[in-house]
Amino acid sequence: MISAEESLGVVGRIRERIGVLFELLKFRLASLIAFSGAMGYCLGAKEVETGKLVLFVIASIAVTGAANIINQILEKDFDKLMKRTANRPLPSGRITVDQAIIWAAFLGVMSMAIFVLVFNLSTGLISLLSLVLYGFVYTPLKRVGPIAVFVGAFPGAFPPMIGWVAATNHFGLEPGILFAIQFFWQFPHFWAIAWVLDEDYKRAGFKLLPANGLKDVNTTLQIMIYTVFLLPIGWLPYELGMTGINSAFVATVFGVLFLAQTFHLMRTCTDKTAKQLMFGSFIYLPIVQIAFLLDKL
């Protein structure tokens, strides 16, 4: 018989292994991306079925997790060089590359099966494209230059469009607008992160800041330009009849506040201001998306 102490040890190891798997797929980040996709699904659906919405969220977390794991497998040796990532499961040796590959494959296959069998083929194909772009194109480009941010913005902006297509099996202006909002949002969001983590990124040879790659006015100008696009695009869901005018005003107000932060960064060019912009970006997107959803309801 197994003693109580041995049983506790087995349970502890199982919990630790599950914890590593969740850490590897970046569960919190994947959940945020799944929320963005669920927002698109709810906006597109005439009637939201709880069971289908739950399955959509599970598939979204799974495909995002698979892409994150591919990213970490390819960057395992680079992650060892950065303080922020040195203790991740792969560089710290808490899981092997082979185990990570199996976990990524399982998540990827499961997500594609749900997207195709429960929803439609278009949803599965866009999700697969997103995984390939993020895992196998964006990841190696991070050591080439800021073109990586442009490429990465595509899979990063797919979730709300995927949600809309899952609900309607239809492409058009509506999912295109949802894509565009998240696409342009990613530039100030990611470049603010790249600014704050610039020193750590340089240890791994990642070249992500725009313009001349320096933390200066030229870089802040690029950040500001992409943020400006959010102001007119934020009105388009109302103009297309997707939502009401209240959410258009919310998008405008928060867009102006977001833009003001980029001007503040242009004036100061400090890490503190870049961090404020980074947190501002975390606030802008969910607030605007929730406003769209509530306005539809």
Average pLDDT by stretches of 10, the chain with 297 residues? 59 81 92 94 92 97 97 95 93 94 97 97 97 95 93 96 96 93 96 95 92 91 96 93 93 97 96 96 95 87
d(CA 158, CA 133): 11
Q: What is the pLDDT of residue 284?
A: 96
Integer Cα distance of 182 and 184 in angstroms? 6
Residue (of 224, 213, 210) closest to 261 by Cα position: 224
**Residue showing tokens 């929320």:** 35
pTM for the model? 0.92
Which residue, chain included where needed, has tokens 């109302």? Answer: 238
CB 149 within 8 A of CB 187: yes
Does domain 11-171 fall into CATH 1.10.357.140? yes
CB-CB contact of 115 with 67 (8 Å): no
Predicted pLDDT at 38: 96
- Written as six digits, the tokens of 123 are 């949803």
- Please give the pLDDT value at position 7: 57
Per the CB < 8 A criterion, the answer to whether 168 and 44 are in contact is yes
C-alpha neighbours within 13 Å on the C-beta side of residue 67:
27
pLDDT at 213: 87
Task: Indicate the domain borders of the chain.
Answer: 11-171, 173-297
Classify residue 272 as exposed, middle or buried by CB count within 10 Å of its CB (0-12, 13-18, 19+): exposed
Cα pseudo-dihedral 197, 202, 205, 206, rounded to 10:
30
Q: What is the DSSP letter of 216?
A: S
Spatial neighbors of 34 by CB under 8 A, at least 6 apart, are: 56, 57, 60, 61, 64, 159
Whole-Å CA distances, 3 to 12, 13, 17? 14, 15, 21
pLDDT of residue 13: 76
Give Cβ neighbours of residue 283 (< 8 Å, ≥ 6 apart): 254
| Alpha-carbon 11 to chain mean position | 33
What pLDDT, on the 0 to 100 scale, is given for residue 67? 97
